[in-house]
Amino acid sequence: MRLSKVIALIVVAVVVSGAFVSTQAFAASNSNPATANHSFSSAYTALVQKQSQALK
């Protein structure tokens, strides 16, 4: 039981930090569209959105 709580906290932290990182990367990609980070952040954002939809 305790391990599942830790995993849940990690997932929440990853989702929150992922949302922050993706918004930062999106703002950076607007000024520099040639960043390799943009494709990663958009894929990561899609993954985070899938996870948040699964939690609802």
pLDDT of 5 higher than 60: yes
Q: Cβ contacts of residue 41 below 8 Å, gap of 6+?
A: 21, 22, 25, 26, 29
For residue 40, the model assigns a pLDDT of: 61
The confidence band for 6, taking pLDDT boundaries of 50, 70 and 90, is confident
Domain residue extents for the chain:
2-55
**Whether the predicted model's global pTM rises above the 0.85 cut:** no
